[in-house]
Structure 1
Amino acid sequence: MTALFNFQSLLLVILLTICTSTYAHYVFPGIMDRNKDSYYMAPFWKSARVGERLSPYVSLACVVMAVVEFMG
């Protein structure tokens, strides 16, 4: 079953995309800022913005998903 058909896996993929994009923007800010209007880089730039602005909620979601994966 792919991540698109399983809601929990889809949430995990979205959360990991947000976390990875935020880290990549922190390490390489010039590359993501320069290509923020690109068709392929725009979703990652937007994910990085979400991760930067909502970092307490994203980290809480990471902890919740870790507990859910561990328990289930």
Structure 2
Amino acid sequence: MSALFNFQSLLLVILLLICTSAYVHQMFPTILDRNKTGFMGIFWKCARIGERLSPYISICCVLMAVSLFIGN
């Protein structure tokens, strides 16, 4: 089943996108800062969300891991 049709998988993909973008921005800030508009701007926005809401994103990561562990 595609991640677009399964809500939990869609949330997992979005959460991983936010975490990965924040990590890449921390390691290589110039890569994402150059591309604030267009398609690549999505990654810059996800990095901002990950940086500013990091406690909430961390809680969501833990909850998603627990729900995946219990579900399988």
TM over 0.5: yes
Distance 2:51 2:14 in 1: 15
Counterpart position of 1:68: 67
TM-score where L is the length of structure 2: 0.96
* Residues 18-52 of structure 1: per-residue CA shift (max 9 Å, x gap): 00000010011011101112x22111000000000
After TM superposition, list the pairs within 5 Å mapping 1:1-72 onto structure 2. 1-37=1-37, 39-72=38-71
Structure 2 unaligned spans of 5+: none
Distance 1:57 1:6 in 2: 22
Distance 2:30 2:70 in 1: 40
Structure 1 unaligned spans of 5+: none
3-state SS, counterpart of residue 3 of structure 1: coil
Identity of aligned residues (%): 69
Q: Which amino acid aligns with 1:8?
A: Q
Distance 1:17 1:27 in 2: 15
Q: How many residue pairs get matched?
A: 71
Q: How well do the aligned residues superpose, as a CA RMSD in angstroms?
A: 0.6
Post-superposition, which runs of at least 4 consecutive aligned residues in structure 1 deviate over 6 A? Answer: none
